[in-house]
Structure 1
């Protein structure tokens, strides 16, 4: 079975490497040389060069179209893992088995953008790893493999990303073996497009820490946007200051203190700030100069 691979993020690199290590035939790769769009962008070129895999870089200067590249490689199936664009029908219908896509949620719930970020920010207790046969819409095709993943209150974008990746890599080998040995998907669960929901694209305003929020909401926001993503931030005098890790203070501060007031500095690094309902400790941040106690953020 010849697989053509499409992807451009850290997850893509891990999947491609795992397929190669398990002796699946990769007949071509479609990727990008760089991306200002994906904060978890990963260059697939080292893998492609090492294993002499024909590579197509998606850029305007190409003389060859993606469709022409795919036709020349003659794949049996296409895997599209970590590609933030809808594929045209000409690619969806280019192979015998179609295009297999991936979405880190429990489809049909939580289709759309930034599924790991929204799951953490909203405090969900579970998410999923779903592979499906792509159609013209986003994340709506027939499901061929799905696993439930528990979300711990201590999970961050880093830990949840890694956990989903670990589970997904095992799924990929399982359904790839099935395609190779049986010539078909292990299962096909049709999605009801009228069920579930679709998350919107997050914007810059969604990453601002407002200390009028309660402490749990701020905690969830920061853990959702930490590495490998862009980080939550506060704005002071038109400057953004990234906040990478926080904890909820166990100290009971007077309820009549206003949100945003700096209550304490711990170990000359950690900043305790009043929130709507308690206080939050800024554990890892990018302050070049610490604020003073009783100042406001």
Structure 2
């Protein structure tokens, strides 16, 4: 079975490495040398060079000359694992098996943008890695393979990314064999039970200490490295916050946002229902006790 591979993030590289290890027949790869959209961008060209796989840097995956190139390679299926733009109809129908995509959520729930981030920000306790047959809509095609896992309280963006990668790498050998021998199944999504997450904006990353301690904790862990980080505004400047800890605070008559203590480069701040200890941050000038964030 001939595979054409599309990807440009860390997950793409892990998946391509897995396919190479499994001795899958990869006839071509589309990737990007850089990305303005993906904090976890990976250029797949070096991996392709080492393994003698034809590749191209691609700006528009739906461009006529790219479609002609892919068609000339005669793939049976296209794997699109980590790409920031939609695949159009002509490419979706280019191969006998279509295009298999990946979404790190339990489809049909949580389609759309930033699934890993929203899962943590919203405090979800379960996640999933889902491979599906792509259609013209966003993440709405038939499911090929889905595997659930638990999201723990101490998971953050980096650990959840690792869990999703491990899950997916376990799935790839199974559905690869099924695609090769025709034993795969297609499970239609029930979109009446699903939802679509919106694109995250800058305001979504700002910590408002009128939030509960748990909401602040979830926001910070969802946006921490390798992503852009949550932030506070201090003296008109945006300060990144990478890790916090929830703390109990006995007094209910202290306003949210008040700095309660600054010690050992850690900052204790009053929140709506307690306090949060800021453990990892980009403050150059530390706020003083009694100031407000």
Deviation of the 1:253 alpha carbon: 4.0
CA 1:68–1:150: 2 relative to 1, 3 Å? same
**Runs ≥4 in structure 1, deviation > 6 angstroms?**
none
CA 1:253–1:289: 2 relative to 1, 3 Å? farther
Q: Which residue of 2 aligns with 1:55?
A: 55
User: How far, CA to CA, are the matches of 2:48 and 2:237 in structure 1?
Assistant: 40
**Pairwise mapping of residues 25-174 of structure 1 onto structure 2 (< 5 A)?**
25-59=25-59, 65-174=65-174
Deviation of the 1:188 alpha carbon: 1.1
User: How far, CA to CA, are the matches of 1:118 and 1:231 in structure 2?
Assistant: 13
CA deviations on 1:12-39 (whole Å, 9 max, x unpaired) are 0110111111111111001111001111
Deviation of the 1:100 alpha carbon: 0.3
- Asked whether the equivalents of residues 97 and 184 of structure 1 are also in contact (C-alpha less than 8 Å), the reply is no
Deviation of the 1:193 alpha carbon: 2.8
- Asked whether the equivalents of residues 219 and 248 of structure 1 are also in contact (C-alpha less than 8 Å), the reply is yes
- Asked whether the equivalents of residues 253 and 279 of structure 1 are also in contact (C-alpha less than 8 Å), the reply is no
* TM-score, structure 1 normalization: 0.95
Q: Which residue of 1 aligns with 2:260?
A: 263
User: How far, CA to CA, are the matches of 1:253 and 1:44 in structure 2?
Assistant: 53
Deviation of the 1:63 alpha carbon: 9.2
Deviation of the 1:237 alpha carbon: 2.8
Q: Which residue of 2 aligns with 1:280?
A: 276
Q: Which residue of 2 aligns with 1:199?
A: 197
CA deviations on 1:144-178 (whole Å, 9 max, x unpaired) are 10111111111101111100110101101110122
- Alignment size in residue pairs: 292
User: How far, CA to CA, are the matches of 1:69 and 1:283 in structure 2?
Assistant: 50
Aligned residue for 2:85, secondary structure, equals: coil
User: How far, CA to CA, are the matches of 1:243 and 1:2 in structure 2?
Assistant: 45
- Asked whether the equivalents of residues 157 and 223 of structure 1 are also in contact (C-alpha less than 8 Å), the reply is yes
Aligned residue for 1:263, secondary structure, equals: strand
CA deviations on 1:273-297 (whole Å, 9 max, x unpaired) are 0111110000000011211111111
Q: Which runs of 5+ in 2 are unaligned?
A: none
User: How far, CA to CA, are the matches of 2:76 and 2:214 in structure 1?
Assistant: 48
- Greater shift in the superposed pair: 189-198 or 33-42: 189-198
Aligned residue for 1:100, secondary structure, equals: strand
Q: Which residue of 1 aligns with 2:182?
A: 183
Q: Which residue of 2 aligns with 1:229?
A: 227
Aligned residue for 1:136, secondary structure, equals: coil
Q: Which residue of 2 aligns with 1:244?
A: 242
Aligned residue for 1:39, secondary structure, equals: coil
Q: Which runs of 5+ in 1 are unaligned?
A: none
User: How far, CA to CA, are the matches of 2:59 and 2:236 in structure 1?
Assistant: 35
User: How far, CA to CA, are the matches of 1:59 and 1:149 in structure 2?
Assistant: 34
CA deviations on 1:196-233 (whole Å, 9 max, x unpaired) are 10000010000000111111000000000011111101
User: How far, CA to CA, are the matches of 1:222 and 1:138 in structure 2?
Assistant: 27
- Asked whether the equivalents of residues 56 and 69 of structure 1 are also in contact (C-alpha less than 8 Å), the reply is no
User: How far, CA to CA, are the matches of 1:47 and 1:177 in structure 2?
Assistant: 23
Deviation of the 1:55 alpha carbon: 1.0
